[in-house]
Each structure stands twice: as C-alpha cells, then as structure tokens.
C-alpha cells in the first residue's frame, strides 16, 4: 500500500480509504469487523465514518460497530487514522444537528463514546452550515483540539468559496484550518474540477472522493445485465442510494457501454479502472471505497496497483469529458 500526506498536514494515510457507510445498514457487524481486519492486514490505515451512518439512521450505529472492533484487540486504534463527521441528527430536538458550538461539543462527545476512543484524528463538517458564523465554528473546534479530542479538521460537500471562507476565518482565528474535503467525484461526475479542486489545491487540502463508482454506474452494470444478473450494488451503493445506477443508465447507456468496452480492452474490471482513474488525479489523496462485502474491498485495493498511461487517461476523458478544466478557463477565455 502506498501512503501520502493528508493535504498539507504531516499525517500519512493510505491511498485507499475504507468507507464504512454500509456497516450496520447492509453489512452485519461480524462481516464489518472482518473487512476492517483485512484493511489493516493490507496496510489500509485510513477509515472514514459519520455519526449518521447505519440503521436506524442518525443513531450512531456504524460508529458503535467500529468502536466494538477497536475494543476487541489492543493496538488497533493506534494503527488507524480515524475520520468521522458531524452535521446531521435525528431532528427530534432543535440543537442536535448543524454546526452550532453546542452541537459541535455534544456530537463530538457522543462520537467518542460510540467509537470507544479518546480522540478523533479527522473531524469533518458533513455539510456547510449557512446559519452559524465561522467565528463560532472555529472557536468551538479549537476548544476540541486544545482538549486533545480532535487532531485535524475537514469538510465535506463544500463549494470552493465555502472552503475559502473556512480557511480565511481559520486564519483570522489563529487556527490551522481544514486539511481535507470530501466531495462527490468520479469519472461520471466531474463538476468539482471547476472550483472545488482548485480551491483545495490552493489551500493545501487533500481531496477524498465519495461515490467513486457513481452509485454502481461505473461498476460494470451493463455486463452484469447482459449476463442475466441483477445490477449488483457495488462498493459505494449505500452512499449513493440503492438503484441509482439502474435509474441513470437510461440516459448514459451509450457512454457506459463505451466505458465497459474500453475496460475490457484493458483487461481490468470497470470498478477498478474507476478507482485507479481517481488515483491519477493530482488533487486526490484517497478515494473512499465503501464495501458491503470483503470481495468488493479486495477489488478496491487492487485499484491501487493499476497504472494508467496517458493514452488510457485520454480515452477515459473522451468517454467521460469533464467540464473543461478549472474555472474560469473552462467556460471563458
């Protein structure tokens, strides 16, 4: 396994991040523990979760599964760069969600209890909160860091200008700021190339793409249908919602057919090519592979060994053209 720094931070993370959204929703705890064991055995030291993952939603089920795994053997926690998120809640009470100082404190304490750890390595804002000032947010986050409960902070689903807002507010507060951004990014969805990726590169953030297979669209759906099998929910199906690939294939059948044919020429499964393409993008630190099964995670890890030459990358750009580069040159002179 190769490692790289998480953005401008000094911490080293594996080039594949184990996403755990399916744990407790589609993957039983025992199977989830097997996947996490396999991840460590193969050098994956970067795990991502959130306080809303699992079923029932927003009750911390996935975090509890990970916490039980940590408690199952000494040393596991120290080997993992652990990332979780806050923002969402059950919505039963007005202050159990978003990014108020009150919820930041309460959400962090609850995640620490469920994860059975004394600190979170990367604490991520799952969405931007337009109703809470950055002064309040950074003051609350800085308290967590001073207490030793959080080491680094990140964002998820931020626009480019939100990243700039966050970083400039952190500068005014004397804080280190965010070190990573989780965005929807894959061959079929490249909007972030306009402004989010340039903002991340400009501010030294590592990019953690979620839904690298676009809900299964890039996971060989046509080949499975031709073989008479139902579309298998692939590694990021839980994050994108079941059935999304089947819904999208009508509009993109010709494009996906060309993609799968090219993957066949390469002799590499489509899901692995999709992950490998992300690993060739300069802003990307680690795609988030969210398996339901061990077999899916094994395929994801193989992607880290695939090298795509310039000819292959150019062909993928032809099949799935992006927005034309960064703004404003993508749409202006």
53 annotated active-site: yes
The residue among 57, 129, 117 whose CA lies nearest residue 83 is 117
Catalytic residue among 3, 26, 53, 152: 53
Report whether the peptide linkage leading into residue 328 is cis, meaning its omega lies within 30 degrees of zero: yes
Could you give the residue ranges of the DSSP H alpha helices within 221-293? Answer: 221-226, 237-240, 244-266, 270-279
Contact between 306 and 276 under an 8 Å Cβ cutoff? The reply is yes
| DSSP-derived 3-state class of residue 304 | coil
Cα–Cα distance for residue pair 52/46, rounded to 1 Å: 19
Q: What is the C-alpha to C-alpha distance for residues 46 and 170, in angstroms, rounded to an integer?
A: 25
| DSSP secondary structure letters along 185-203 | -BTTB-GGGTTHHHHHHHH
* Active site members: 53
């Amino acid at each position: 396994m190769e490692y790289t720094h998480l953005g401008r931070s000094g911490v080293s993370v594996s080039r594949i991040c184990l996403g755990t959204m399916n744990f407790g929703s589609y993957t039983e705890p025992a199977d989830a523990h097997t996947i996490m064991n396999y991840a460590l055995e193969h050098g994956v030291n970067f795990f991502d979760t959130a306080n809303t993952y699992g079923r029932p939603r927003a009750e911390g089920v996935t975090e509890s599964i990970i916490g039980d795994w940590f408690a199952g053997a000494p040393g596991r926690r120290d080997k993992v760069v652990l990332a979780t998120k806050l923002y969402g809640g059950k919505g039963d009470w007005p202050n159990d969600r978003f990014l108020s100082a009150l919820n930041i404190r309460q959400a962090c304490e609850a995640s620490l209890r469920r994860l059975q750890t004394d600190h979170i390595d990367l604490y991520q804002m799952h969405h931007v909160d337009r109703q809470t000032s950055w002064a309040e947010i950074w003051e609350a986050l800085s308290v967590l860091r001073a207490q030793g409960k959080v080491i680094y902070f990140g964002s998820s689903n931020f626009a480019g200008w939100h990243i700039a807002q966050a970083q400039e507010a952190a500068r005014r507060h004397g804080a280190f700021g965010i070190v990573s951004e989780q965005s929807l990014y894959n061959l079929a969805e490249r909007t972030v190339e306009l402004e989010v990726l340039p903002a991340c590169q400009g501010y030294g953030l590592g990019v953690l793409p979620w839904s690298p297979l676009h809900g299964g669209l890039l996971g060989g759906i046509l080949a499975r249908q031709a073989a008479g099998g139902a579309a298998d929910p692939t590694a990021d199906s839980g994050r994108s919602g079941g059935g999304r690939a089947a819904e999208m294939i009508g509009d993109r059948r010709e494009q996906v057919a060309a993609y799968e044919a090219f993957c066949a020429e390469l002799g590499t499964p489509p899901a692995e090519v999709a992950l490998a393409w992300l690993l060739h993008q300069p802003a990307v630190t680690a795609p988030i592979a969210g398996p339901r099964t061990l077999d899916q995670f094994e395929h994801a890890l193989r992607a880290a060994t695939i090298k795509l030459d310039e000819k292959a990358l150019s062909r993928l750009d032809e099949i799935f053209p992006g927005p034309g580069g960064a703004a404003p040159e993508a749409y202006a002179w």
